Amino acid sequence: MATLSSDVNIYNTSVVSPPLGQHSNFDRTLSDVQIATIAVFAATYFLAKVSLAIRYATSVLVVKKWELDVVLITLAWATALGYFISVCFIMKYGWGSHAWMYRLPIWFNTTRFESITLGTAL
């Protein structure tokens, strides 16, 4: 990568140079990877919600008491939602897109959300 001289405008410079045949598009919408991530999460989160509702019904109607697993499953369900929300926040900073599609200053903002996303993933 070439070094930046003082006359380069970093607000119009991509994180990396695009490969041959590709062009930087700083004003694009969501990428295919980002859309697929949202769609897959929506489908799996819906299934998790249905499973959680069935578990609640089992606890109330069959077991007739709340056990530790219900609390832990609920916490895992809420943590998964927190992870997805944090991923949606960092999508605008380059998550799920090629590095040549983002301006250099925007790329540096990812560090604000990476620790949150990593914390919910663990």
User: What distances in angstroms separate CA 101 from CA 11, 15, 19, 117, one per listed residue?
Assistant: 12, 8, 11, 21
With 0.85 as the threshold, say if the pTM is over it. no
Between residues 58 and 1, which one has the greater pLDDT?
58
Residue 1 has pLDDT above 60, yes or no: no
Residue 31 has pLDDT above 90, yes or no: no
**Half-sphere exposure (Cβ direction) of 86: Cα atoms closer than 13 Å:** 18
SS (H, E, C) 58-91: HHHHHHCCCCHHHHHHHHHHHHHHHHHHHHHHHH
Residue 61 has pLDDT above 60, yes or no: yes
| pLDDT at position 111 | 65
